[in-house]
Amino acid sequence: MATAEESLRKCLSEKLSAVEIQSNTVRSLKSSSAPKPDIDAAVQALNALKLEKSSIEKSLESLLSASGSNSRKAFRKSVVNTLKRRFFYNSSFQIYGGEAGFFDYGPPGSAVKYNVLSFWRQHFMLEEKMLEVDCPCVTPEVVLKASGHVEKFTDLMVKDEKTGTCYRADHLLKDYCNQKLQEDLTLSSEKAAELKHVLAMLDGFSSQELGAKIKEYGITAPETKNPLSDPYPFNLMFQTSIGPSGSARGFMRPETAQGIFVNFRDLYHYNRDKLPFAAAQIGQAFRNEISPRQGLLRTREFTLAEIEHFVDPEDKSHPKYAKVADLEFFMFSREEQMSGQSAKKIRLGEAVSKGIVNNETLGYFIGRVYLFLTRLSIDKDRLRFRQHLANEMAHYAADCWDAEIECSYGWIECVGIADRSAYDLLAHSEKSGVPLVAHEKFSEPKEVEKLVITPIKKELGLAFKGSQKMVVEALEAMREKEALDMKAALESKGEVEFEVCTLGKTVTINKSMVSIHTEKKKEHQRVFTPSVIEPSFGIGRIIYCLFEHTFYTRQSEAGDEQLNVFRFPSLVAPIKCTVFPLVKNQEFEEVANLISESLTAAGIWHMIDITGTSIGKRYARTDELGVPFAITVDSTTSVTIRERDCKDQVRVDVENVATVIREVTEGQRTWEDLLKLSGVLTACASQPAASDSVSSAEFEKIMG
């Protein structure tokens, strides 16, 4: 695409120059009163050039809109309209004009969310016997200082220098680049390439880099066109205070993971002091976005489902790894991204064995996430696992992959799967003074060599007087490698330069000031800080992508309307079936109520629609909610069940309806099984077709 766009931009800019030159020619011919045929010929040439120019413009426009956002925007509009009209979700506090970044799930949306979370519990927690915790959202400052959020959980913000209105700095730059690229046809291909490069690098820009670009491009406040301040960090946590005194700072948690880390000791104990184990938490998280947008994808409050899988850093194998190793899906490694390639389908086992994925446990969870998302009916061709680039990843992380789902907004990070090494437990150990460690008991004591550093205080006192204490502490705090280096240097040179951070300077240490030697010791156990592998799920994002991936439109029977359908699998569908009496009549209504009672007893979420509307309209209404099955009561003994997508129907005895619906929605039986058993009723049966009906006796057999 890039090359076609590039050459079109080049052509266009050449053509523009040609038009300008020819215009000047025409003008000068006219002003010099040249002969009419000359002028006419020049005008004709100019018109021909203009025609060529506008043809190139059109090609460029259509290229940009095809690769670009117009059709995607139209699709999104039709999905979101349907979602809001049927109250899957809507902006919160609407009667008060709404509040940006907050959304309410209505009845079908709440049910989809509940179903996704229930399946998450089954697929991850039950399968791995994870330990669940449920911690408060309000969190004291000390916890989030330790985790680094108080200092670093920020976005860069700029202010309208006159009105004080705030904007996210990177959003303004991004919007500027996108708009230029899409709307400015006169952009040179060099300039277009530059803007594309900025878009690609944007996420890694420092405050200075962002500020410089905003100045360079002359970007101003969108509404007022006023100048903007330099970018500065804004902490995204909602702040509050705990207790009546007003002095204890607290925040609404920005993630649920910290609740697991601070409970590590009790969880490890609950797991009988054994590794590996995983803990999980589902709950609300909060992020006071500077300027929320993209609907459900970037909200100020959202549901997270997070797993912290604790492992021995020396053994990151996983006992069930073989179960996922043969899965094949799109992975987008760091190397492929750096070399400008695209995501490739690859066997997970290959990615792990080649070291593209850091370890088996990380690989195992990538595989499980793939199974989870595709079971929900995320399209596997619009799903990829993208590895973080070195500059995206925290310094402590061993490896990190995002499950990205493509929707009308582009590729969206929906699940992050990171090997965070021992970072979080170490941070909380340090801040709280409580060791968050695991133990490996040796079957018999091991003799180990231990490095012993003994500062000679008398000598150090003579040399450093009042600073002696700081030097002693710095010597004692040396890591093994540093101490061995010092030992070697002292042995060879007799003295060595040594940096004492707490003094802010380097001092000279000589042989008499410290003794460094190894000692043999018997140890009964190994004490270590576990590594943690963290799959973290943005539930709202997954649900939004699910909406887009399952949405389609089809013509009404009469061909006069486009009807909306959500192709939800039963697992996800907010309502499993609707019960319709074919015509408004008391007998059929009673049957519908009886069926409803049996569905309730079987634990199946359903609706009754007893409005007098035509059956076609009622089908359309239920399709738009993604209800997989519609039960039409057209007799008092048997009913038809219609499947949403194929629209085929089967006839079932009234007393078997709940069982059949349970079996097809819970997956013990497929719709195809039912079709085979009963024959298909393609026309809507307005009269009972006894011969097609599945009798109770046959069902007894089927259900064995």
Cα separation, 341 vs 184, whole angstroms: 28
Q: What phi and psi values does residue 528 have, to the nearest 5 degrees?
A: -150, 160
By CB under 8 A, tell whether 133 contacts a second copy. yes
Long-range residue pairs from 154-157, CB within 8 A, at least 24 positions apart, any chain: 154/233, 154/234, 154/235, 154/236, 155/233, 155/234, 155/236, 155/289, 155/290, 156/207, 156/210, 156/231, 156/232, 156/233, 156/234, 157/231, 157/232, 157/233, 157/234, 157/290
CA-atom Rg of the chain in angstroms: 33
Tell me how far, at minimum, the Cβ of 248 lies from a second copy, in Å.
8
By CB under 8 A, tell whether 122 contacts a second copy. yes
Q: Which of residues 393-432 bind a second copy (CB under 8 A)?
A: 428, 431-432
**Could you tell me the two tokens for 693?**
């009906």
Cα separation, 547 vs 567, whole angstroms: 9
Q: Which is nearer to a second copy, 265 or 647 (CB)?
A: 265
Placement of tokens 């048997």 in the chain: 638
By CB under 8 A, tell whether 252 contacts a second copy. yes
Among the listed residues 20, 40, 99, 673, the single contact to a second copy using CB under 8 A: 99
Q: Which of residues 258-317 bind a second copy (CB under 8 A)?
A: 259, 262-263, 265-267, 269-270, 272, 283-284, 286, 288, 290-291, 300-301
Q: Which is nearer to a second copy, 140 or 204 (CB)?
A: 140
Tell me how far, at minimum, the Cβ of 628 lies from a second copy, in Å.
17
Cα separation, 650 vs 682, whole angstroms: 9
Tell me how far, at minimum, the Cβ of 597 lies from a second copy, in Å.
10
By CB under 8 A, tell whether 697 contacts a second copy. no
DSSP string across 155-184: EEEEEBTTT--EEEHHHHHHHHHHHHHHH-
Cα separation, 622 vs 414, whole angstroms: 29
Q: Which of residues 323-382 bind a second copy (CB under 8 A)?
A: none
The one segment of 103-111, 390-398, 475-483, 502-510 that binds a second copy by CB under 8 A: 103-111
Q: Which is nearer to a second copy, 144 or 633 (CB)?
A: 144
By CB under 8 A, tell whether 434 contacts a second copy. yes
Placement of tokens 């046959």 in the chain: 698
Among the listed residues 11, 18, 39, 135, the single contact to a second copy using CB under 8 A: 135
Q: Is 628 in contact with 665 (CB distance < 8 Å)?
A: yes
Cα separation, 661 vs 576, whole angstroms: 8
By CB under 8 A, tell whether 138 contacts a second copy. yes
The one segment of 85-93, 439-447, 544-552, 634-642 that binds a second copy by CB under 8 A: 85-93
Instruction: Give residue 159's identity as a one-letter amino acid code.
Output: K
Q: Which of residues 590-609 bind a second copy (CB under 8 A)?
A: 600, 603, 605, 607-608
By CB under 8 A, tell whether 144 contacts a second copy. no
Cα separation, 367 vs 364, whole angstroms: 5
Among the listed residues 36, 37, 129, 339, the single contact to a second copy using CB under 8 A: 129
By CB under 8 A, tell whether 564 contacts a second copy. no
By CB under 8 A, tell whether 150 contacts a second copy. no
Q: Which of 228, 218, 214 is nearest to 163 (CA)?
A: 228
* Per-residue DSSP letter, 413: E
Give how many residues touch a second copy by CB under 8 A.
81
Among the listed residues 25, 45, 107, 526, the single contact to a second copy using CB under 8 A: 107
Q: Which of residues 202-241 bind a second copy (CB under 8 A)?
A: 234, 238-241
Cα separation, 105 vs 696, whole angstroms: 40
By CB under 8 A, tell whether 245 contacts a second copy. yes
By CB under 8 A, tell whether 15 contacts a second copy. no
Q: Which residues of 543-568 are buried (b: 16+ CB within 10 A; e: fewer)?
A: bbbbbbbbbeeeeeeeeeeebbbbbb
Q: Which is nearer to a second copy, 472 or 660 (CB)?
A: 660
By CB under 8 A, tell whether 114 contacts a second copy. yes
Q: Which is nearer to a second copy, 112 or 378 (CB)?
A: 112
By CB under 8 A, tell whether 127 contacts a second copy. yes
Q: What CA dihedral angle connects 350, 355, 356 and 359, to 10 degrees?
A: 90
By CB under 8 A, tell whether 667 contacts a second copy. no
Among the listed residues 2, 4, 74, 100, the single contact to a second copy using CB under 8 A: 100
By CB under 8 A, tell whether 243 contacts a second copy. yes
Tell me how far, at minimum, the Cβ of 343 lies from a second copy, in Å.
32
Cα separation, 338 vs 67, whole angstroms: 22
The one segment of 7-15, 108-116, 479-487, 642-650 that binds a second copy by CB under 8 A: 108-116
